[in-house]
Amino acid sequence: MTSTNGRNATSSNGNGNVHNRLRTTISEHIVEIISDSGEGAQKCGQSFGSIVARTGIGVWTVEIIPAEIRPPARSVAGASGNRIRIGTKRMTNGGNETDLVVAFNEQVLLGRVRTGELKHGCTILLESMWRDNPDPGVSRSYVDTVEHLVAAGYRVYEIPMEAECLKHVSDARKGKNMFALGMLCSIFGLDLQIGRDQIAMTFSKKSAQVIEKNIALLEDGYNWADANLALKYEIPAERSSEAQIVVNGNTALALGVLASGMEICAMYPITPATSASHYLSDAFEKVGGIVHQAEDEIAACAFAIGASYAGKCTVTITSGPGYSLKQEAIGLAVMGEIPLVVVNVMRGGPSTGQPTKTEQGDLMTTIFGSHGDAPKVVIAPGTIEECFYSVITARKIAETFNMVVVILSDANLATSQQPFTRPDFDESWLAPPIDQSAVPAGAKPYDWDDRTGLARRFIPGQPGGMHTLTGLAHDQNSHVAYDPEINQKGMRARSLKLAALQKTLVPPTVFGPPTGDLLVIGWGSTRGAIEEAVESLRSEGKTVSSLNLTFIQPLQPGIKEIMSGFKKVITIENNWSDDPGDEMIDENNRRYSALAMLLRSRFLVDIDCWSECRGTPLKPNTVRRVIMEKLG
Amino acid sequence: MMEMTQTISSNDCLMQLFEERREIEDYQKGVPRWCTGCGDNAILTAVQRLCRDEGLMPEKTVFVSGIGCSSRLPHYMNTYGFHGIHGRALPVAEGVKMARPDLTVFVNTGDGDCCSIGAAHWIHAVRYNMDLTMMLHDNQIYGLTKMQASPTSPIGTKSNTTPRGSYLEALNPLTVTLGISNVSFVAQVVDWIPEVLYQVISAAYHHKGFSFVRIIQRCPEWMPKLMDPWLHDPDRVLLLHHDDGIQISSSLARTYKRTEEHDPANMNRAREIASEYDPIPVGILYRNPNVACYEDLRHDPRLRTNTMIRTGIEAEFDKFTVWPEKE
């Protein structure tokens, strides 16, 4: 009962339903499971991702989220579920088009076909119950769709999921997802025991009976696929020798809040940032922290500023529209030199835009936002792991420089899962205790250092430090002052701190050789897709390298020197830029994407750009195409 | 004279502090730049007197304000102060109190700051019921921006934005506040009776919870005659008194003969009184010492040690960890 590649595909099955089939070895695959909202496809996908991660196979999962909570059943726009990219190597992004999709009805499937997310001719495992639906409209729609897809070259497998699940549960909507999970475990030859363990963990708060039923469904799906499907794949992988954490970017950010030593998070619900606060609301209190859900975004920011002013650096978590509302308060923190961490999980803008979709549209507003000159630090994690560490870094910078630090994540990182090395807890991450020692006689609250702009900070409770912090222009004693020299001095000090921070940074690392025809520069969540494209093109002989910037404001040193090693430089971003091919566009009016604009003005280098804002993460193949075009 | 007091807070370990006797001058800072005759001066004097009488430690006291004439007050206090942005004094003060329950926090705001641009925060501050003492300096006009009608301006008020008279009935801050869940302290005073002004602010300070004090305040610059009919006719002021409220001194009783014994526990009567414009009710309208404070509901009594944090984080990591295969 062993397969030729040495993996015992059914050893944990235990019911004697054994097949000797050859498994096809593949290096990677993209799997989707989609359903109407509420049918559990997301849970199935997340569980599959976790099971895969446990076997050592590289994985990146992406949530597929409809805009509504309960869109109408069987609607094209209502697809809810998960996309799981698995492979031998470490996965750094969601990849290109889907190879295999499990769909609970043909309408949500059509939605995915129409958005171009499925590879042409891919494998489809489709719930077959609709064929016999008493409503002739439904059955006709099903039959037509299947015929159309088959004719178009898709490999459609019709599967009686409902009928199989009804053997175990009275409502198949509450079990189909685990049946599907079983099928996927069979198809990819995964150890069924890991699946059982995963179910026990997923449903750990439910009764033993619920766990048993779900395990029965899992096993049934596994056996059914084993007996009836000729799909048998093997993805060679080795389990990591170190412990790994599997979370999405928002949970990683929330874990970072815990690890940063901060004690208060003030927030207001907003997609796609809120899941970070959901997790934090449960976990934070276990370490004595508080999530305060304020009455609005402005109050959340002002509350955070008040708590920070009182000595406890605080974080506020939001997305674009909330960030816009916080801008005036952020300016106050800049003016008063109050440390503050702001997380902006970007979504599509402007206005309400695309709440559940990803975009990198807020770079300029975070750097230049709030009226007047309001210098603040902007950093952008490029991986799930960096989401975790970025919060610790942000809190340290905020308190060291008495500045606002904005962390720019996005919906892509927020909803994607990728394993990373379990962090080795370090006490130095935590915030130092509040200094309540008496202020030395004669010390001033804004005793700006002439070279760095830095000043010590007086915290309420410190004897002798009494002063009134103000958002008005002020002198070193925090007295309101409109004297021209004093205003100039305060502006200089607040700005100089960015330079002082910049002097502590090290040059970024080039991905690939330091010279070549083209350097691709990106920031934040596009890192994985860009690096994958660059790597594959290099393996084909193209001399292209890439650079991912995590510090956007201030920029790390050495970027100009890095750029000088390449004939051309281009930024690739997930935001808007004009198409130079458009009739109206010329060099007098072309609007460059955000990072390109910044780098052009900073370095006086003719940096090109390409960007799109389709609401989806960049695909490596798209990046490849763009690079090939630019290489000419 | 030295006296010994004890303070315990989540931030200080148990400490015994020797506190100095301070005079009013010790709480004063700078020369107020309000207009001559501005009611803000009376409020400043009352709070400085309160600080002295209560022996508040300047370094443990914070005055938080928004924007407007009222909000300059922290600059004239020799305590910590936070002069923030328009309308947001309350959420800033809530953040301070949440982070540092050991600090005494006052909020000074105006009718534009609180009842217009910051109205959402006002409603929710009442609901949170944090232990803050709030003074609404209500001069019924925007002063610092040079005379525009405010939400509390009487209908018909001629101002730079309502040259033909304001169009809407004035908003009543007392009835609004008394209509919000969790309300625990509502009072009204006028700036021209310093004795009651002081008594009420003192009672507000001693109330554990969110104390809302509306102070009807004269603006000699933009609304010079607005309050004259009430100022010149003591019978157009209704003094509220009670064993559990404020007491009226004999000298005060000689001038202000119109009084009512009002139990601050009586919400129904408080709402009736709040609806009165003439005579102006002055005193404590409502007080309920039994409403829970948000900072107490959220307070974690455990000492937040590095070990505790580490244990918590490792447990969270465990939830998401894929362990390496055992040999």
Q: How far is CA B14 from CA A296, B9, B57, B64, in A?
A: 37, 8, 17, 27
| Residues of A (215-254) whose Cβ lies below 8 Å from B | 239-247, 251
Q: What is the DSSP string of B78-117?
A: SSEEEE--TT-HHHHHHHHHHH-TTSEEEEEEEHHIIIII
Q: Taking residues B155-163, report their average pLDDT.
A: 97
Residue A490: is its pLDDT beyond 80?
yes
Distance of CA B157 to the CA centre of its chain: 26
Answer yes or no: do A460 and B309 touch at CB < 8 A: no
Q: Taking residues A190-199, report their average pLDDT.
A: 93
CA distance linking residue B46 with residue B74, whole number of Å? 13
List, in sequence order, every residue forming a beta bridge with B282; answer none if it has no partner: B239
Phi, psi dihedral angles at A544 (to 5 degrees): -130, 140
Q: Taking residues A354-359, report their average pLDDT.
A: 95
Query: How much is the pLDDT for A336?
Result: 98
- Kindly report whether the peptide bond that precedes residue B281 is cis, defined as omega within 30 degrees of 0: no
Q: How far is CA A98 from CA A76, A359, A599, A615, in A?
A: 17, 21, 35, 17
Best of A466, A472, A475, A482 to substitute, by most chain B Cβ atoms within 10 angstroms, is A466
Which of A288, A299, A427 has the CB atom closest to B300's CB atom?
Answer: A288
Q: Which chain B residues have a beta carbon less than 8 Å from that of A244?
A: 321-322
Q: Which chain A residues have a beta carbon less than 8 Å from that of B312?
A: 258, 283, 286-287
Is A576:A540 a contact under the CB 8 Å cutoff?
A: no
CA distance linking residue A251 with residue A279, whole number of Å? 7
Query: How much is the pLDDT for B325?
Result: 72
Is A463:A438 a contact under the CB 8 Å cutoff?
A: yes
Phi, psi dihedral angles at A421 (to 5 degrees): -55, 130
pLDDT digits (tens, 9 = 90+) for A405-460: 999 999 999 999 999 999 999 999 998 889 999 999 999 999 999 999 999 999 99
For the beta carbon of residue A506, count every other beta carbon within 10 angstroms: 9
ipTM over 0.90? The verdict is: yes
Which of B75, B317, B321 has the CB atom closest to A468's CB atom?
Answer: B75
Asked if residue B86 is part of any domain, the answer here is yes
Which of B77, B100, B316 has the CB atom closest to A255's CB atom?
Answer: B316
Asked if residue B24 is part of any domain, the answer here is no
Answer yes or no: do B310 and A465 touch at CB < 8 A: no
In chain B, the number of structural domains is 1
Q: Taking residues B229-235, report their average pLDDT.
A: 96
CA distance linking residue A488 with residue A35, whole number of Å? 60
Q: Taking residues A622-630, report their average pLDDT.
A: 98
Asked if residue B2 is part of any domain, the answer here is no
Asked if residue B208 is part of any domain, the answer here is yes
Q: Please work out, in degrees rounded to the nearest 5, the angle formed at the alpha carbon of residue A402 by the alpha carbons of A396 and A407.
A: 55
Query: How much is the pLDDT for B19?
Result: 57
Answer yes or no: do A264 and B99 touch at CB < 8 A: yes
Asked if residue B204 is part of any domain, the answer here is yes
Q: Which chain A residues have a beta carbon less than 8 Å from that of B313?
A: 255, 258-259, 287, 425
Residue B26: is its pLDDT beyond 80?
yes
Asked if residue B182 is part of any domain, the answer here is yes
Q: Does A293 touch chain B (CB under 8 A)?
A: no
Report the CATH number at residue B96: 3.40.50.970
Which of A303, A460, A462 has the CB atom closest to B94's CB atom?
Answer: A303
Asked if residue B4 is part of any domain, the answer here is no
CA distance B29 to chain A (A): 10
Domains assigned to chain A: 24-234 (3.40.920.10), 245-429 (3.40.50.970), 435-504 (no CATH), 510-631 (3.40.50.920)
CA distance B71 to chain A (A): 10
Answer yes or no: do B85 and A285 touch at CB < 8 A: no
Residue B201: is its pLDDT beyond 70?
yes
* pLDDT bracket for residue B178 (50, 70, 90): very high
Nearest to A410 by CA among A176, A249, A623, A571: A249
A22 against A126, higher pLDDT: A126
Answer yes or no: do B121 and A295 touch at CB < 8 A: yes
> In terms of residue numbers, what domain contains B50?
29-320
Q: Buried (b) or exposed (e) across A425-434, using 16+ Cβ within 10 A?
A: eeeebbbeeb
pTM: predicted TM-score of the whole model, two decimal places:
0.94
pLDDT digits (tens, 9 = 90+) for A112-125: 999 889 999 999 99
CA distance linking residue B125 with residue B88, whole number of Å? 11
Residue A14: is its pLDDT beyond 60?
no
Query: How much is the pLDDT for B326?
Result: 65
Nearest to B110 by CA among B128, B91, B127, B87: B87
Which of B124, B316, B323 has the CB atom closest to A258's CB atom?
Answer: B316
Number of cross-chain residue pairs from A and B with Cβ atoms under 8 Å apart: 195
